[in-house]
Each structure stands twice: as C-alpha cells, then as structure tokens.
Amino acid sequence: MKTRIPILKLNEVLIVSIQWELDDQTAIQFQEDLLNKMHETAALGVVIDLTPIDFIDSFIAKVLGDVINMTGLMGAKVVITGIQPAVAITLIELGIRLNNVMTALDLENGLDKLNKELEA
C-alpha cells in the first residue's frame, strides 16, 4: 500500500505537513493528490510544512519546485514553512527558484501570513 501525505482543508486553505523523508513514488503521488484536492476544493492557498525534513535529493527538490509552480498556475498562493538549512542549500544549488512563494519559520506563522495575503 502506498503511503500518502495527508492534505487538510481549513476554510479556503489546504495544509500539508510532510512528516517523513519522501521517496520518489510518494513525491509523485503527493503532487497528484495536492493538485486534485485543489481542483476539488477550489482552495485559494496552500501551506506546505517541511519542518521535519532534513534532506532532499535532486528529484524530490524538482518535484517540490514543480508542485509550487503548478499550485500557482491553479491560482492559489503558496507558503512554505519550516525549511531546514540543508534543504534551502539543496534547492539553491539545484537552481530551483521559488519565485512568488512566501516562506515562514513555522506552520502557525505560515497560516497567518497566507491569511493576511488572502484578505488583501
């Protein structure tokens, strides 16, 4: 059975807390699940919490960058929270730019930031 990353809906926002290191298959499944959930719920924003993730490889980094770009194409704002130093370094070294993406230190601050952005 495939492991799936839970995607919670809170008002018009989807919350994703990735709690374990991703393998390639789980990352692809997450991408598909998140985009389908966005379509079903017409979510206006997504918070992706990466706090427990200490390391990502190049494939996972690419999928994460793609998910963020696809989410934007579907009209939602994105906040990434809890990026660890090694993950930030990997994203930059691989040339993955998170343009137009808000970041926050933790999930609570990320939700606050996204809600203020959606109210504007």
pLDDT recorded at residue 120: 78
Residue 19 structure tokens: 């709690």
State pLDDT tens for residues 66-75. Answer: 998 899 899 9
Residue 24 structure tokens: 């390639």
More confident position, 56 or 41: 41
State pLDDT tens for residues 59-92. Answer: 988 898 899 889 989 999 999 999 999 999 998 9
Question: How far apart (Å, rounded) are the C-alpha atoms in residues 120 and 9?
Answer: 21
| Residues forming a β-bridge with 10 | 13
pLDDT recorded at residue 2: 65
Judge whether 111 and 103 are in contact, CB under 8 Å.
no
